[in-house]
Chains A and B, each alone.
Chain A
Amino acid sequence: MDAIQISGTPHMRKKRTTRGIMIDVLIALVPATAAGLVFFGLRALVTIAISVAASVATEWVWLLCKRKSFKEIWAQFDFSSCVTGLLLALTLPAFEYKYFYIPLLSAVFAVGVAKMLFGGTGKNIVNPAIAGRVFAFISFQSNMVSGWMTPRFAALGNTVQTSATPLTSMLGEGLGKIGIGNLDLFLGTGVTGCIGETCKVALLVGFAYLLVRRVVKWQWPVIYVAVTGLVSCAMGKSMGYFLPSILSGGLLLGAIFMATDYVTSPNNKWACYLYYLVLGVITALLRFGTKIEVVSFAILLMNLVVPLFNMYVRPRPFGAKPVVQVCKDKLDSIKQKARQKKAAKEGEAQ
C-alpha cells in the first residue's frame, strides 16, 4: 500500500534499452575484431585497446568535470563510447608500437570533440568514430596512407602491395592490375587495409547478427553498397568494377556499422532511402575523383546534411491525401490563379 508507483502511460515497455543496443553492436563487431587480430596480430590488439580505453576515459573524464559522481556515470553509461572506440580502431591500420599516440589522440578527438562537446550521446552531429578516423587521416597522413603492415596469410600466392590498399591501386592503375582476386578481397587474405575492414566475411557475420537482433534494417547497407557498386561500374564503364569496388576498402565496414549509426542518419524511412542513395553516389564519385579511400569522408559529409533530410523528407500522416492528389490539386490551383489573372487583365484592357 505504502509504495504505490505512478508513471505516465504506457506502463508496459519493450525490454530493449540504449545500452542493450550498444552491446548488440559490440557483439556484432566481435567477428571483425577477431579477424583483425588474426590478420594483424598483437599490433592490432594494442591499437584497439588504446582506442577503446581512451574513448571511455575521455567520456568519463568529461562527465567527472561536469561534477557527476561515478555512480551516476555508471548508471548512465550506455557503452556507446566503447562502440566508438572499437569502430575507430577498426578503421585504423595496425600501427607500429611507437605510433601509439595516433589511436590515442584520434579517440580523444572522436569522443571529446565530436561527441561530448555537442552534448554527448544522441546529440552528436557527425559519427564520432568517423570524425576520429578523419582526424587521424588528416593529422598523420604519412602513417595513414603508407607503411602499412603486411597481414598474415599473405603467402597464399598473391602479390601484395604494402604501400596502399588494393582499392588505391585499382582506382589508380585500372582493374586488371590489382593482382588480387575477389575471393581474397572477400576473405581478407593477403589484403592490406585497416584492422577491421579486410575480412568481409566477418563483417557480414556481424551484419547478420544485427539483422537478427533487429538493430539495423537490411535495406540501408544494401542500398548504400549497391548504389556505390553500380555508380563505380558506370564510372569505370565496366561491370567488372562491381565486386572489387564493393569488396575493397572500408565500404562494407562503413555501410554496416558507420552509415547506419542511429544518431547520424535520418529519422524516417523515406528520408533514409534518399540518404543512402545519395551517400552511395557520393562515395563512388569521391573514390574515382580522389583515388584514395573516402568512405569515411563521404559519410562525414552526408552526416552534416542529415537535418536537411529530416526537415524536407517527412512521412505523410495516416489519412493524408496521396502525393499524386496533392500535386494535382496544386497544379489546379495554379492554373485557376493564372486563369483569374488573365481574366482580370482582359477586364482591365476592356
Chain B
Amino acid sequence: MKARKGKFFAKGIHVPDNKEWSKDVPIEVMETPDIVAISVQQHIGKPSIPVVNAGDEVYMGQLIAKEAGYIGANVYSSVSGTVMGVEKRKNINGTLSDYIVIQNDHHYRKVDLEPLADRESATIKARIREAGIVGMGGAGFPTEVKLSPRTPVDTLVINAAECEPYLTCDYRLMIERTEEVAAGIRLLAKALAVDKVMVGIEANKPQAIALFEKYDDMQVVVLKKAYPMGSEKHLIFSCTGRKVPVGKLPADAGCVVQNVATAFAVYEAVECNKPLYERVLTVSGKGCVHPKNLLVKFGTNFSALRENCGAKPEAAMFVSGGPMMGPAMASTDVYTTKTASGFLMLLPEEIDVSEPEPCINCGACADVCPMNLLPMQIDFYTQAGEYDLAAKFGGVANCISCGCCAYVCPAKRALTQSITLCKQKLSERR
C-alpha cells in the first residue's frame, strides 16, 4: 500500500541522528563469551522466579526462570551449559538483582517450544506469553498484557520510528528480515483481531519505507524526522490523528503500539518455536572502532561487546540504549537484557556533562516539550520539595521522560532527573 505522510506534529527536537556509522552494516552474530549471566528482572513487573539450581545442565532455549504474576515474563537460557548458581550482580543502572549465571559449553544444543496447532488469537497470545516476549523498544512491558486491552481497539500501530540517535537495530531488522517482520506484524494483528495495521517509519529511512510499501495489508506512515516520534502517544497521533486522553492508555484511543523488534520476536516464537533469548543490538558511537549491528544473546557481558567492536582509549562514556533515554554505565561489567537496544561508546565531544547553572526561564523546554508541559516549573518546585505544586503547575504526571527539555536547556539543568524524582516522590506518597 502506498505510504502516506504522518500527521504533522510541531513539538519535539531535531537531534543529529548519527546513524550513518552503523546503518549499512549487516547484522552479525556475536560469539557468546564463556559465562553468561541472565537477569531475572528484564521487564517491568515482578522479578521472575528461577527454576534451575546450581549444577543443572541447561539447553539453549530452556526455561530457567518462571514469570511471577500477571505482569511478568519467562526467562530462557541463551546458551547450553552448566548453571553455576543464582547470584546478585549489578544491573546497568547500578542496582542489584538476581542473575542466573551459566557456564557456556559452546555447543549451543537447542530445545524448542512445542509447535503450535493453530494460529488463533488465543493461541498466539499464549505463545507470546510463554516465550517471555516483552516490549523491546525499551520499556519492557509484557507484550501479551498489552495485547489484551480492556477497551476495544481497532488499530495496531507498529513503532518503526527508531527516533533515538545512533540506533539502527530496528532498521536493519526491517531491511534484512522484511518478510519475517511483516509476518510478525500479521501475527500481532491476528492476536489483537484488528484489520488496520499502520507502520510508522521516520522519513530518514526511505529504504525501509519502500520495502514495507509493497505489503497490501499494512499502511506505511512516513513520520517527520524528529525526536520523540517513537513515543507511543505521538506515534498514535501521527499515524491515526487520535490523541490518547490525559492519564489514559493507548488502548483508550483504540490503538495498540508494538515495536518492530517485538514483532520479529513474535514471528520467531510462533513460526520457529523459539523463545526470546537473543536480540539485535546496535554498537555505535564515535568512540567505537567498528560500529556494528549484533545479534546478541541475553546475559552477554557488555565488556565482551566492547572488545568485539573495539573501544577507542579516549571513549569517555558507555551507554546502554540510545543517548537520549539510555542509562550510562559506571562499568561495562554488566549484562545485556531484553530491553537493551544499543551499546554506545561516546567520546567526550559527543556528551555534555557540564554543571547545571541557574534557570534563566528562557522557555526553551516548554517550547519543545512534546507533552506541552512546563519542565522549568517542575524543576523549580521539585528543587524546593513542593511536589504537589510541581504536579499542579508543571503537569509532571504526563511526562514521558523523553529528555527533550534537558537536551535544549541552555543552563544544562538536570530536568529529566528532577522530573523523575518528583514522580517518584508523588508515587511514594500515594
Residues of A within 8 A of B (CB): 3-14, 16-18, 20-21, 76, 78, 80, 119-123, 262-263, 265-269, 272, 310-311, 314-321
Contacts and interface: CB of A to CB of B under 8 A. Distances in A.
Contacts of A263: 360-361
Interface stretch (B53-61, B69-77, B348-356): B348-356
B417 interface: yes
B414 interface: yes
Across the A-B interface, the 8 shortest Cβ-Cβ residue pairs: A13-B352, A122-B358, A10-B403, A262-B362, A6-B328, A10-B324, A315-B372, A317-B398
A266 to B, nearest CB: 8
A76 B165 contact: no
Interface string B232-267: 011001000001111010000000000000000000
B412 A13 contact: yes
Nearest to B14: A14
B325 interface: yes
A236 to B, nearest CB: 35
Contacts of A266: 363
Contacts of A14: 13, 407-410
Contacts of A262: 360-363
Contact of B358 (A3, A121, A311): A121
A4 B361 contact: no
A318 B361 contact: no
A8 B407 CA distance: 11
Interface in B32-86: none
B361 A18 contact: no
Main secondary structure of the interface of B (DSSP, over half): loop
9 contacts: A5-B348, A122-B358, A122-B411, A262-B360, A266-B363, A317-B372, A319-B233, A319-B244, A319-B245
Contacts of A13: 351-352, 354, 406-407, 409, 412
Given A4-B317, A6-B329, A310-B377, A318 B360 contact: no
Contacts of B348: 5
B358 A123 contact: yes
B416 interface: yes
Given A21-B410, A317-B246, A319-B246, A11 B374 contact: no
A12 B371 contact: no
A5 B357 contact: no
A78 B319 contact: no
A12 B351 contact: yes
Contacts of B330: 4, 6
A178 to B, nearest CB: 38
B361 A267 contact: yes
Interface string B401-427: 001001111111010110000000000
B346 interface: yes
A9 B326 contact: yes
B412 A17 contact: yes
Interface in B288-333: 316-319, 323-332
A5 B351 contact: yes
Contacts of B15: 12
B398 to A, nearest CB: 4
Nearest to A215: B362
Contacts of B359: 122
A320 B373 CA distance: 11
A218 to B, nearest CB: 14
Contacts of B412: 13, 17
Contact of B328 (A11, A268, A310, A311): A11
Nearest to B375: A267
A3 B314 CA distance: 9
Contacts of B8: none
Contacts of A10: 323-325, 403, 406-407, 416
B350 A8 contact: no
Contact of A317 (B318, B325, B371): B371
A26 B65 CA distance: 63
A325 to B, nearest CB: 11
B350 A12 contact: yes
Nearest to B13: A14
Given A10-B323, A121-B358, 9 more contacts: A8-B416, A10-B416, A11-B323, A262-B360, A266-B363, A317-B246, A317-B373, A319-B245, A319-B398
B149 interface: no
A12 B13 CA distance: 12
Contacts of A319: 233, 243-246, 248, 371, 398
A4 B411 contact: no
A320 B243 CA distance: 8
B246 A12 contact: no
A5 B363 CA distance: 29
B316 A12 contact: no
Nearest to B406: A10
A76 B316 contact: no
A262 B377 CA distance: 14
B132 interface: no
Contacts of A310: 377, 393
Nearest to A262: B362
Nearest to A123: B358
Nearest to B418: A8
Nearest to B403: A10
A20 B410 CA distance: 9
A310 B361 CA distance: 11
Contacts of B220: none
A268 B411 contact: no
